[in-house]
């Protein structure tokens, strides 16, 4: 699905990412973690084509990401930024429908099929009460749900998320995790940046650790107190609750 070879990036003169190599298979759930400023968000932007790499290449389905047109890429990848920028009033309906934008042509309105997918998704994620509301009036958790649903409407195999649980209360946290789990079980490939490992560790099947722009670990998800200590300088423990592996901070 995704292959990164010798990916480098810098902001001005400051190197942000240094020679990353890894590949993500279909239906992987990759948890990307690392301390603040490790380059996680930059990596996600490179993989989604928002930023162009300063060195190395990102391949999506075997094709160089730079050779995709913007619209073509948007039929492969949905990217959810950490912060949304809704400065102006916008109906939730329009936000959701924008997920169908890459499938439309220049002059065409959204088709019957677009509206059908829209209606199905609204029902599936129980968003009926929000559809006619201004997105600015929604709470952080409601917004995140709407944005996730719009990624679902975009109907792409790859979903990249940057800190999807920021500022969410426990109920919204669970709802967002459930939505993600559902998308993953439908065959989507998920790459997710988050510090909240206690939430996403059990969901992921792979993990990618970054520190100072360097790849510290990439591979199958497994608990390693040593790795977590190297990355975050904290000690982490794990327990099994039924078949769920739960990790927590050990003081």
Partner 1 sequence: MFLPATGKSFTWMNKKIWSLGIFVFILLLIVPFWGIIPIDWQTILGHNPNSFVFWQLRVPRTILGFVAGAILALAGLVCQNLFKNNLATPDLLGISSGAAAGAVLALKFNLFVTFLGLGGMVLFSYLGALSSVLLVLLISRMVRNMSLYTFLMCGVALNFFYSALIVFFQYLFDFSNTFSLLRWLMGGISVVGYHESIFLGVLLLVFLLAIFIFKKEFLLVSAGDHFAQSRGLQVAHFRIYSFLGLAFIVGAVVSVCGPIGFIALIVPHISRLWGRSNYGETVVFSMLLGGGFLVLADFLARALIPPVDVPVGIITSLFGAPFFLVLIISQLKKTE
Binding site for partner 1 (CB under 8 A): 45, 48-50, 69-75, 77-81, 84-91, 93-95, 98-99, 101-102, 104, 107, 109-110, 115, 131-136, 154
> C-beta of 48: minimal distance to partner 1 in Å?
6
160 versus 231: smaller Cβ distance to partner 1: 160
Smallest gap from Cβ 88 to partner 1, in A, equals 5
Among residues 135 and 204, whose Cβ is nearest to partner 1? Answer: 135
* Strand ranges of the sheet holding 189-193, from the earlier edge strand across to the other edge: 77-80, 158-162, 189-193, 29-33, 206-211, 214-220
User: Least distance in Å: CB of 92 to partner 1?
Assistant: 9
Closest to partner 1 by CB, 92 vs 177, is: 92
Q: How far is the CB of 189 from partner 1 (least distance, A)?
A: 16
The minimum distance between CB 10 and partner 1, in angstroms, equals 16
- CB of 143 or CB of 199, closer to partner 1: 143
Complex with partner 1: residue 52 or 234, whichever CB lies closer: 52
Q: For 33-38, which contacts have Cβ atoms below 8 Å and span 24 or more sequence positions?
A: 33/193, 33/194, 33/195, 33/197, 33/207, 33/208, 33/209, 33/210, 33/231, 34/209, 34/210, 34/211, 34/216, 34/231, 35/211, 35/231, 35/232, 38/210, 38/211, 38/212, 38/213
Of 249, 245, 250, the closest CA to residue 202 belongs to: 245
């Amino acid at each position: 699905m995704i292959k990164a070879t010798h990916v480098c990036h810098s902001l001005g003169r400051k190197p942000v990412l240094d020679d990353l190599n890894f590949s993500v298979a279909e239906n992987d759930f990759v948890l990307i973690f690392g301390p603040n400023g490790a380059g996680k968000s930059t990596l996600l932007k490179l993989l989604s084509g928002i930023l162009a790499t300063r060195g190395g290449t990102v391949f999506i389905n075997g094709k160089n990401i730079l050779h995709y047109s913007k619209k073509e890429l948007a039929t492969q990848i949905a990217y959810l930024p950490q912060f949304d920028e809704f400065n102006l009033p916008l109906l939730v309906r329009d936000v959701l429908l924008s997920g169908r934008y890459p499938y439309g042509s220049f002059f065409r309105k959204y088709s019957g099929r677009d509206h059908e997918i829209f209606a199905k998704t609204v029902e599936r994620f129980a968003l009926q009460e929000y559809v006619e509301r201004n997105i600015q009036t929604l709470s952080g958790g409601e917004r995140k749900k709407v944005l996730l649903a719009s990624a679902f409407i975009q109907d792409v195999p790859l979903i990249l998320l940057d800190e999807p649980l920021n500022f969410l209360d426990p109920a919204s946290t669970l709802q967002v995790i459930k939505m993600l789990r559902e998308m993953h079980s439908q065959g989507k490939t998920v790459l997710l940046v988050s510090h909240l490992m206690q939430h996403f560790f059990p969901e992921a099947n792979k993990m990618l650790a970054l520190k100072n722009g360097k790849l510290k670990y990439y591979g199958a998800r497994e608990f390693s107190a040593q790795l977590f200590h190297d990355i975050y300088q904290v000690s982490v423990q794990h327990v099994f609750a039924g078949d769920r592996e739960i990790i927590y901070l050990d003081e």
